[in-house]
Amino acid sequence: MSGARQAAGGGAPAYQVWAVPGIPEVQAGDDLVKLLAAAVTGEGLPGLADGDVLLVTSKIISKAEGRIVRAGDREAAIDAETVRVVARRGSLRIVENRQGLVMAAAGVDASNTAAGTVLLLPEDPDASARALRSGLREALGVDVGVIVTDTFGRPWRSGLTDVAIGAAGVRVLDDLRGGVDAHGNPLSATVVATADELAAAGDLVKGKAAGLPVAVVRGLPHVVGGDGGDGARALVRAAGDDMFRLGTSEAVREAVTLRRTVREFTAEPVDGAAVRRAVAAAITAPAPHHTTPWRFVLLESAEARLRLLDAMREAWIADLRGDGFSEESIAKRVRRGDVLRNAPYLVVPCLVMDGSHTYRDERRNASEREMFVVAAGAAVQNFLVALAGERLGSAWISSTMFCRDVVREVLGLPSGWDPMGAVAVGHAAAPPRERPVRVADAFIAVR
């Protein structure tokens, strides 16, 4: 029997934790409640009492529930249990599995099971915990909490530890927000993962290879009681709150996929710091001759945006009239051009030819400019993708390219700065429409 959190001095907070021996190899269809009840009341053990917490390794639950599958290829089993790849490095995959857990290999385990088979996690670990708690109450007449545990790695930390993947009758989270610490400082972000702490405590006595899949914690009755709310599912961070939802390459791919042309924005202000971070990503684009052919003009004030857009509208209307368009047609076209006017933030990317080469052959000069234009396009694409990563919508509109002199005059730009359209930036007013599926092979030529 092992003690923990034992402070010096009498009456200090303490609890006890011990492993439960005597549990036989579990087979599919076994009555796990019966096996556990017999084991915890074995000779020399203190049995179970109200307020205890029973920590049960998920593997024995999976075996009892028949979650053993024939699988010569473990990777195929992982594929079947995966709903989202979070990160991949070589053969290692961190994924979100069908239970909503983010972990290595979807929890598919080839250890402690016969050759040619793999062990899947319980179908519903919270339901498994509830069934064990109810069964033990009926068999032994005790009100205990039950936590189903599994071994996880953790971001930023080396080594493995047990965490709770299922729970019943246990307060899995202890929300201390609204209270104060010993110095009277307000606690505004402290939510303790009590169930994970209990799981880790049990793992200290169960061990990874000792054949002791169950442990008991006694002395913390305040964490036991009620129905346990949402069970261990409450420990899974919601997608919207998860700042580390993806690995590096997966985050880049998702940002590229998220990038959409957004034409309607909310009135929510745009964080200028987020736009500047996107510019920092933009200027990593490739460019010819070791040049930096990009400049980004940020129109952060409404006055600057309206002054530019009004001047551009006047120039556009004059051009349309010169081309013989009717007033009705002009009005329709101008209305369609209001995407920039409705955006809370505008950015005008500009091309500069500083460092470009001049040749006697005009064809080579034209190619030289094309190289710089391509570099500008690469920078703008970087910029749009980075904005998507900041959860900002954008629309790259070409209009400033048709009135560059007007833009330079209104914004006071050097004569060598060529506006390359304008980017409307803001928070999307509606979810993006589904993008038509494009098969990569249709855009590939192999020689």
pLDDT in tens, 220-257: 999 998 765 679 999 998 887 887 887 877 777 777 77
pLDDT at residue 11, rounded to an integer: 67
CA distances 310 to 54, 78, 307, 417, 422, Å, are 70, 57, 5, 20, 14
Tell me how far apart the alpha carbons of residues 437 and 402 are, in angstroms, rounded to a whole number: 32
pLDDT tens-digit series, residues 107-156: 998 887 888 889 999 999 999 999 999 999 999 999 999 999 999 988 88
pLDDT tens-digit series, residues 382-430: 999 999 888 899 999 998 999 999 999 999 999 999 999 999 999 999 9
Tell me how far apart the alpha carbons of residues 253 and 249 are, in angstroms, rounded to a whole number: 6
Mean pLDDT estimate for the chain: 89
How is the chain split into domains, by residue range?
Answer: 2-67+121-241, 248-443
How much is the average pLDDT of 293-297? Answer: 97
Answer whether 301's CB lies under 8 Å from 371's CB: no
CATH architecture, domain defined by 248-443 = 3-Layer(aba) Sandwich (3.40)
* Torsions phi, psi for 208 (to 5 deg): -85, -25
Closest CA to 145 of 93, 66, 202: 202
Residues 2-67+121-241: name the CATH superfamily.
Answer: CofE-like (3.30.1330.100)
pTM of the full predicted structure?
0.69
pLDDT at residue 228, rounded to an integer: 58
How much is the average pLDDT of 318-333? Answer: 88
pLDDT tens-digit series, residues 79-101: 999 998 888 888 888 999 999 99
As a whole-number percent, the residues of the chain with pLDDT over 70 amount to 96
Instruction: Using the predicted structure, report yes or no on whether residue 2 has a pLDDT greater than 50.
Output: no
Could you list the beta-strand ranges (E) of 189-344.
191-192, 214-218, 294-299
